[in-house]
Amino acid sequence: MIVPWGEEELVQGNEAIAMGAIASEIDLFAGYPITPSSEIAEILSRYLPALGKKWIQMEDEIASISAIIGGSLAGAKAMTATSGPGFSLMQEGLGYACMTEVPIVIVNVMRAGPSTGLPTQAAQGDVMQARWGTHGDHPVIAMVPCSVRECFDLTVRAFNLAECFRTPVLLLADEIVGHMRERIAFPGEDEVEIKCQPEPDVPIEWYEHYHPTASNVSPMARFGTGYRFHVTGLTHDAHGFPTRKVEEVMAKLGRLKHKITRRLDELEDVRLHGLEDSKVVIFAYGSVYRSALAAQQILAEEGMKVGVFRPVTIWPFPDVTAKKYLDDKEVVIVPELNQGQIIHEVERVTLDAVRIVPVQRIDGYQITPEQIVEQIGEVV
Amino acid sequence: MKYAEIRLSGAGGQGLGLAGRVLAETAINDGYNVCQTQSYGPEARGGASRTDVIVSQDEILYPMCRELDVLLAMNQPSADKFGEFVKEDGFSLVDSTYVDQPPAGNVYEYTFTRTSKESFGTPLVANMIALGMMGALTKYFGLDAWRQAIMKSVAEKYTEMNLEAFELGHRNGREILHVKEGRVDLAYDRKQPVPDWLKKIRERQKGQ
């Protein structure tokens, strides 16, 4: 038994991601190891061949993402794992997977950049790259774990969402979460739901690879099952062949957008703490969320109420929920391990009357609760 | 103990990663929540690398160490770098094989590496001797919790040597306490016959 179902264990974040992938019945891992994500590749290399699954070390990250796209088209549940420098190289393949609507999971354990940066210390510098790194308008689903248990849960969720939305899903862990070991309780095997793409149920000659449906996601046939379809990064029609007809182009790009924007309720995942009766809110995601909670606790001991708003799914951004809870606040503190990325999203969705205050750190170390408390003391 | 921050530091290769895992497993065996982090910088290959373990009865929010209850420094650079983070009522434990200028504050010194070489013919179990001494000095966790953690974390081939190294450190730690406090309240003594868990391991190894 590789995943210790229902047991308590001391587990590392990266290990939990690997176990989450195995729990999700991963068929193919292709990657190019890079710290701080290497343990994911290492652990999967130990287990996948024994399970009769495929594990390939590719020559680089472009090849890695291409390999899992190919694997997924042939019916494999596929994942790769990397860090900032590798994630940059994967952008081309990421766009291709968005356009061709191929379900894959990409784990980016973020480290301090730009370029090779600070090997290997923590950062949250890739959240905007995750959203806009690949060119053109495209859908993105990205989640940010804050603990080892979440590394497991969100990996499972990432596979499920990739299948349900026929799109790449990103897991943006950071070095702190990836390398942290915690005592966690694994869920029971029956508590974890594994979702798969429905098989097409139409006769072979009727099959359309990009058939318009109410959910904007069409059942996807896999290569080798008798169904015929064409795959290209060029804007394509329902069969997958290149097209420049206005109505077909608009239909394709509209579907790409709407399959995410019209099902936001399935994607949104936020954690709210003490938002009702506080005028100050800390808006934090990923490992920084834990500093925010600790800061909230410190301030509570001193008699000051502060709320914490945390998006677990960072893309699509929880516009409506954030606006609902933040518009009546006086100050929103946005701590981030970068020079200001998500803070602009918070500014975008909230009223001008709300004062948005950054707490930023880019030296590779975690923002301490005291730093947040100090900043709150200065502005309130 | 409700909450403690422990840092194990030294040069890369002194076995601090393993020691950190053993410490974390021990705390779990005694029912605590644990969060362990580790430095992955170039210093992981020399200089001052560190493993931090936070042990708490409550949920651990902030996962990094701020004020240390215990610092283990296995070389001079880490004693210099991390000594200042030890709390006033905390203590440092240094390997005097390599550290000749211990940090200020409460300090215990012991020749972990030299003793490891002399007693076991290898410097590799200096980490376990250090853990043993730390275990005795802190009294945070029970002996059984430590033993089970070592048996779980160390490759089977080396379990016995690691356990013996731990015992040696623990014994010396209790002697230090004995001098300091005049008594040792742990029902454990060097005159004790070979314990059952050690017999089992020896039998298992003979059988192979």
What's the per-residue H, E or C state across A171-202?
EEEEHHHHHCEEEEECCCHHHCCCCCCCCCCC
CA distance A71 to A62: 14
- Closest CA–CA distance from residue B119 to any residue of chain A (Å): 31
Residue B63 to residue A35, Cβ atoms within 8 A: no
Model ipTM over 0.90 = no
Residue B37 to residue A179, Cβ atoms within 8 A: yes
Which phi and psi angles does A198 have, rounded to 5°?
Answer: -70, 145
Q: Tell which of A172, A191, A210 closes a domain.
A: A191
A122 belongs to a structural domain: yes
Supply the mean pLDDT for chain B: 87
List the structure tokens of A278. Answer: 């506080």
Indicate if A115 and A27 belong to the same structural domain: yes
Position B44 pLDDT exceeds 70: no
Per the structure, the complete domain to which residue A161 belongs is given by 8-191
> Touching check for B22 and chain A: CB below 8 Å?
no
Count of structural domains within chain B: 1
A157 belongs to a structural domain: yes
CA distance B181 to B178: 5
Strands A270-273 and A306-311: antiparallel
Q: CATH number of the domain that A170 lies in?
A: 3.40.50.970
Count of structural domains within chain A: 2
Strands A181-185 and A8-12: antiparallel
CA distance A310 to B81: 35
Residue B36 to residue A294, Cβ atoms within 8 A: no
Q: CATH number of the domain that B14 lies in?
A: 3.40.920.10
Q: Which residue has the higher pLDDT, B152 or B202?
A: B152
Helices and strands (DSSP H and E) totals, chain A: 13, 15
A247 belongs to a structural domain: no
A173 belongs to a structural domain: yes
Indicate if A163 and A34 belong to the same structural domain: yes
Q: Is the peptide bond preceding residue A114 cis, with omega within 30 degrees of 0?
A: yes
> Touching check for B66 and chain A: CB below 8 Å?
yes
Mean pLDDT of B131-146: 93
Indicate if A147 and A19 belong to the same structural domain: yes
CA distance A310 to A269: 9
Which phi and psi angles does B65 have, rounded to 5°?
Answer: -80, 140
Among A19, A66, A73, A80, CA closest to A47: A19
> Touching check for B56 and chain A: CB below 8 Å?
no
Residues 6+ positions from A290 with CB-CB distance below 8 Å: A146, A147, B61, B62, B63
> Touching check for A119 and chain B: CB below 8 Å?
yes
Look up tokens 């980490």; give the residue: B127
Per the structure, the complete domain to which residue B90 belongs is given by 3-207
Residue B63 to residue A176, Cβ atoms within 8 A: yes
The rounded percent of chain B whose pLDDT value lies above 70 is 87
- Alpha-carbon Rg of chain B, whole angstroms? 16
Contact present, A159 and A105 (Cβ < 8 Å): yes
CA distance A14 to A47: 14
Indicate if A29 and A142 belong to the same structural domain: yes
Alpha helices in chain A (DSSP H): 13-23, 38-47, 61-73, 84-100, 127-132, 148-165, 175-179, 246-261, 264-267, 288-301, 319-326, 342-349, 369-379
Mean pLDDT of B98-127: 94
Indicate if A297 and A185 belong to the same structural domain: no
Look up tokens 């069969």; give the residue: A239
Indicate if A54 and A171 belong to the same structural domain: yes
Indicate if A43 and A143 belong to the same structural domain: yes
> Touching check for B63 and chain A: CB below 8 Å?
yes
In order along its 380 residues, chain A shows pLDDT tens digits of 589 999 989 999 999 999 999 999 999 999 999 999 999 999 999 999 999 999 999 999 999 999 999 999 999 999 999 999 999 999 999 999 999 999 999 999 999 999 999 888 999 999 999 999 999 999 999 999 999 999 999 999 999 999 999 999 999 999 999 999 999 999 999 999 999 888 899 999 999 999 999 999 999 999 999 999 999 999 999 999 999 999 999 999 999 999 999 999 999 999 999 999 899 999 999 999 999 999 999 999 999 999 999 999 999 999 999 999 999 999 999 999 999 999 999 999 999 999 999 999 999 999 999 999 999 999 98
Q: CATH number of the domain that A286 lies in?
A: 3.40.50.920
Indicate if A83 and A182 belong to the same structural domain: yes
CA distance A31 to B81: 37
Residues 16-35 of A with CB under 8 A from B: 35
List the structure tokens of A129. Answer: 């790259």
A231 belongs to a structural domain: no
A318 belongs to a structural domain: yes
Residues 132-191 of A with CB under 8 A from B: 175-176, 179-183
Packing angle, helices B16-29 and B126-138, rounded to 10: 40
A326 belongs to a structural domain: yes
Look up tokens 């200001």; give the residue: A340
DSSP 8-state assignment for residue B67: S
A213 belongs to a structural domain: no
Size of interface A-B (CB pairs under 8 A): 65
Indicate if A185 and A286 belong to the same structural domain: no
CA distance B174 to B168: 10
> Touching check for A37 and chain B: CB below 8 Å?
no
